[in-house]
Amino acid sequence: MHLTVLGCYAATPRTFTNPTSQVLEINNHIVLIDCGEGTQVELRRHKIKFSRINHIFISHLHGDHFFGLPGFISTMRLLGREKELHVYGPKGIKEVITLLLKLGDSWTNYPLLFHELTSKESELIFEDTKISVTTIPLDHRIYTNGYLFREKVGNRKLNIEAVEEYGIDKAYYQNIKNGKDITLDNGEVIGNSELTYDPPKPKSYAFCSDTIYDESLAAKIKDVDVLYHESTFLESEAELAKKTKHATAMQAAKVAKAANVKTLVLGHYSTRYKSIELFKEEASTIFPNVLLADDGKTFDF
């Protein structure tokens, strides 16, 4: 599971910081999560092919989380895209994007499919044989969702020595990886556990963008491998965080601890602070395994 942070600062873009956008590579999928201004430039900077992105997940309709989306969609048209592009986001996202395309007479020449969200309960919004994506309802000033990405359990791994010892033909290898027992020519049945190893444990990633501190959030992301949680403010500005419906680094750490996640990644920093290291220092007093997102930073989990 590979994460590329394209932008992770709050409010407005600056010459050296970008608003929220990130690319998650998970089980052969490459998804774009939020699309603040500058996303296209950062995708090019990190040599991430636009054509490999087929699913975009927008948390909410504040500009620092989606103002880069119209440009990205338009560029895909100029690049001659033909395959479908799926956009998941709050109700209204279709209206705002299609209005821009209409007024600019620049309809896409590829299928642009919107999946608008309205539920305030967690719901499964995408699933295939490799991953599932579930919404994480958040409490912000407007309708907002986080997203929980989970790998599906993969095939079992062949124990080559055991398979060869029994003289099993390669034609049966896929059935074995799918978990089936094998019957030898002499009628002996070999249990799958003798021929395979357990597959790698599926990984999970929870993206929680703008939200007020919410203790109940922990139950929705219990035991995930990686939690990205906004930390706009430090605890010294806790009242401001409450007023604007944002969270502090310490509050993000409390959620991570209550949810028993393995790793906490902080982001969405207010630019009022001199160093983002202050966020890690504060969160680490509550939760030990804290990483700092930063523009251009990549993580392998």
Each residue's pLDDT tens digit, 20-44: 999 999 999 999 999 999 999 999 9
d(CA 27, CA 203): 9
Q: Given this model, what pLDDT does residue 262 score?
A: 98
pLDDT tens for residues 213-254? 999 999 999 999 999 999 999 999 999 999 999 999 999 999
Residues tagged in the binding site annotation = 60, 62, 64-65, 140, 210, 268
- Residue 249's pLDDT is 98
Domain coverage including residue 187: 158-197
pLDDT tens profile 123-157: 999 999 999 999 999 999 999 999 999 999 988 89
* Beta-ladder partners of 157: 197
Nearest in space to 262 (alpha carbons), one of 240, 290, 234, 295: 290
Same domain, 162 and 220: no
The pLDDT of 197-207, averaged and rounded, is 94
| Judgement on whether residues 218 and 281 belong to the same structural domain of the protein | yes
Q: Is residue 57 within 8 Å of 33, Cβ to Cβ? A: yes
CATH, residue 261: 3.60.15.10
pLDDT above 90: percentage of residues in the chain: 97
* pLDDT computed for residue 137 by the predictor: 98
Q: Give yes or no: residues 241 and 137 share one domain.
A: yes
CA distance 263 to 226: 5
Domain-ending residue, one of 145, 166, 197: 197
The pLDDT score that the predictor gives to residue 110 is 98
The pLDDT of residue 155: 85
What is the total count of domains within the chain? 2
Binding residues for Zn(2+): 60, 62, 64-65, 140, 210, 268
What average pLDDT does the chain have? 96
Active site residues per annotation: 64
pLDDT at position 160, please? Answer: 93
CA distances from 156 to 131, 141, 146, 185, 211 (A): 17, 45, 31, 23, 39
